[in-house]
Chains A and B, each alone.
Chain A
């Protein structure tokens, strides 16, 4: 069976938290008959919306994981990827954006465009995702879709154009006028599933005519036929308008605006129609793969189900049925029983069970053609891996993965928790590339690091809930480093006489700062003053010293160690003796070489309404920040600054209260810089106190 790719839609639903995304998805699934009853997000029936599959999400009323789900509407197959709405989870959003072809941007008709909408919109622009706007919650007090459309234009810089008009608003919302067909649409029945189409009410006629003119004006740019028909003042066929809107949407130069209320069951079916009519199918979008055999040459994927397979694993989930891998195919066909190669690891995997996901339930299938989104069981991979077959070695262009910026220590409370914790961590690191974990060998603590405090909190919460791993949490930590600023000589003799064979070694030379690498060892010994076999012992000794600086116990980087003299003892010199000598020599040289503490500097970007720019800059300035610049667009400003990570703890709270929650910030690692003297003294003092306690 060959599927008509023109009738496949892979869409995302993206929005600000609380604008009703989950409710809308729930309604879509209901009208497409994937589910048979409607549950509310915070419903009283205790079932919760179908898309929020994780317990934690149910409890908090928010969506964290993006589950992919399938439905069909008017002979089109639609894969919906539910995307989370919080800034700390943006990797989830970005990963979802990577695999979808089009998106519905949901806005609240009261709240309008909020900072999260701005971020999400920017991400969509970055990944060139065509989108439709849906102004939800038109039944709420204060609803004003016209104002929100204006904001779409001003704040998001979208060419937003309403293709519907509301009939009544707030409590009186009855239905809407479709400006393409020029009909009034009402939604009858308990669940709005009986659609009634009538003439436009007389009192809205003029309004509708005027708005239709605006719509035609806006879309005529995308269709010469339409432009001609308008000039000739002919009757304009509906199809022609649909075609022009589609063209504008696909080129990202037009954003059709729809309205409704998912909660009151109004407008959802029309939105589905629009998804079919205006959003792209897989062949409308050019996706690029990188050929790993040809130095990552860019190759567009073919979308042809007959071609060799290229598929991307974009999400892993630990469900109650075992590990589930969500996959998007870009070309070729996945068949049950076939095998394919993971192009990152080169490992061959066999395709066992193949399923189409519908939130928590699933449907077994035998094969999936290109452009489809499906899930596999029992495949060992990390998210972001590409699968190919028949000798193809391609990788879908790598996603931008930001480096973790914050870390904290976790300690399991008991033995059982210990086992469960490692299981959980193993899973999380595979699922989420921004979440990392390692064991600190000194303290024997497990350290987790990620994108923000909330990011880590959610994983700790998940550990507790899903894996029953109770852990104690340490304070968030900044990764300091130590280095030297000038050259210094050392000459150190290690001598020990403790009965039996003693230890003897003398090492001399100098330490020097270098920028190119973390550590370099140079052997300038002549005349065998240190025997060959002990040269590597010196290197070992230096390396040992690098692990822990003398100022704060942080790792030391940027050092070149040169040895040029020394002496040995025929009996007492040994590998251990020279290692010890090197350790001593390093300590001696390091102390004289003007050692300093380095701290990570973050590139911070704060985005928000311009009115708050002054206070935002003030807050950044207080944090030892250097403001690099500002960018202004409409009423929306970005302030970029470089700020030490240690000053950024708790900034989200500060920012929220400064800007009434309207601004948000992102940060990524930029570089290491020397900490100022006052801070450095404090750090050293704290480290000494800590050593005394130990």
Chain B
């Protein structure tokens, strides 16, 4: 593959769940702080490790989602001064599939059907599922359990993003804000994005691979590029 160096240099790997299957991850933040950017970096990390990723975008277009990948890849290529840019971008395109759903059209049976379309015909064998735009506000616990079930039955690692709101002070005992405060125990890894006064965005890891984490692990998002950095 030849991307080992890129993988090991990527600070994302310390919080992603590696190649562990059947794990559920959650990225939470208020609107506009970089949830999608982080999800895309987690997905890219997985692709660079040689996996295939399905990116489920709810309420977003294929083109927009694709643009996220292209932009972040370009930043990485620039930063690492990579030579084989086209090759890398093509490799990513081959190992990523975007599924977009209109809000009303997304459901577990739908998702399962789509995934089976791909897997059974051997078109695409994903290891990692990224779900951006899932509506936690209007979903209940059984629904999430259902999707957790699905990812387990298909041996997937799955990542979700959720929007928290300023002024909503409902929290789970471990500190996960609403709307996920009642379902946070379903997730093995939970990351909060917190804006700091110096304009950086800190990654507050509440739980990592099932272990509770007391303090953050010193990662932040560069506010201009939205790339994960060690601070």
| B94→A632 contact, CB < 8 A | no
Pick from A613, A629, A632, A638: contact of B97, CB under 8 Å: A629
Q: For the complex, is B75 an interface residue (Cβ under 8 Å from A)?
A: no
8 Å CB contact of B102 from A626, A627, A628, A632 = A632
CA distance A260 to B117 in the complex (A): 41
- A628 touching B121 by the CB < 8 A rule? no
Query: Measured between alpha carbons, how far is A604 from B116 in the docked complex, in Å?
Result: 22
Interface flag for A654 (CB, 8 Å): no
Task: Count how many chain A residues have C-beta atoms less than 8 Å from C-beta atoms of the other chain.
Answer: 18
B143 contacts the other chain (Cβ, under 8 Å)?
no
Instruction: Count residues of B near A (Cβ-Cβ below 8 Å).
Output: 26
Contacts of B110 in A (CB 8 A): 610, 632
Interface-lining segment among B28-36, B59-67, B131-139: B59-67
| Contact, CB under 8 Å: B62 / A628 | yes
Residues of B near A614 (CB, < 8 A) are: 113, 116-117, 120-121
Name the distance in Å between A373's Cβ and chain B's nearest Cβ: 35
Complex alpha-carbon distance, A108 and B66, angstroms: 38
Residue pairs across A and B with CB atoms within 8 Å: the count is 62
A628 CB contact (under 8 Å) in B93, B118, B120, B123:
B93
B93 x A631 contact (CB < 8 A): no
Given the complex of chains A and B, what is the CA–CA distance between A377 and B223 in angstroms? 62
Asked whether, in the complex, the Cβ of A618 is within 8 Å of the Cβ of B123, the reply is: yes
List chain A residues, Cβ under 8 A from B62: 628-631, 638, 640
Does B98 belong to the interface (CB within 8 Å)? yes
Tell me if A531 is interfacial: C-beta within 8 Å of chain B: no
Say yes or no for B144: interface residue by CB 8 A criterion.
no
The residues in A between 620 and 661 inclusive whose CB is less than 8 angstroms from any CB of B are 621, 626-634, 638, 640, 642
CA distance A633 to B105 in the complex (A): 6
Known: A630-B99, A631-B62, A640-B62. A613 touches B114 (CB 8 A): yes
A617, CB-defined interface residue at 8 Å: yes
- Cβ contact within 8 Å between B94 and A626: yes
Smallest CB–CB gap between B105 and chain A, Å? 5
Contact with A along B189-223 (1 / 0, CB 8 A): 00000000000000000000000000000000000
Contact partner, B123, options A621, A634, A640, Cβ 8 Å: A621
Residues of A within 8 A of B65 (CB): 629
Contact A621 B98 (CB under 8 A): no
**Chain A residues within an 8 Å CB radius of B121:** 614, 617-618, 621
Write the chain A residue with the least CB distance to B103: A633
Among residues of A, the one whose C-beta sits closest to the C-beta of B55 is A629
Q: Name the residue of chain A whose CB is nearest to the CB of B94.
A: A626
Residues of A within 8 A of B113 (CB): 614
Q: Are A632 and B101 in contact (CB under 8 A)?
A: yes
**Closest CB in chain A relative to B48 CB, distance in Å:** 18
Decide if A629 touches B100 in the complex (CB within 8 Å). Answer: yes
* B120 CB contacts on chain A under 8 angstroms: 614
Please determine whether B98 and A632 come into contact, CB atoms closer than 8 angstroms. no
- Which B residues touch A640, using CB under 8 A? 62
> Within 8 Å CB of B98, what residues of A?
628-630
Does the CB pair B99–A617 fall under 8 Å? Answer: no
Partner of A627, one of B105, B116, B124: B124
| Closest Cβ–Cβ distance, residue B95 to chain A (whole Å) | 10
B97 to chain A minimum Cβ distance, whole angstroms, is 6
A240-280 interface with B by 8 A CB criterion: none
Known contacts A626-B93, A629-B62, A634-B102, then 11 further A-B pairs from the complex at CB < 8 Å, ordered by chain A residue: A613-B114, A613-B117, A628-B66, A629-B97, A630-B98, A630-B99, A630-B100, A631-B62, A631-B100, A633-B101, A642-B93
- For this complex, 16 residue pairs linking A to B, each with C-beta atoms less than 8 Å apart, are A626-B93, A626-B94, A627-B97, A627-B123, A629-B65, A629-B97, A630-B100, A631-B100, A632-B100, A632-B101, A632-B102, A632-B110, A633-B105, A634-B102, A638-B62, A642-B93
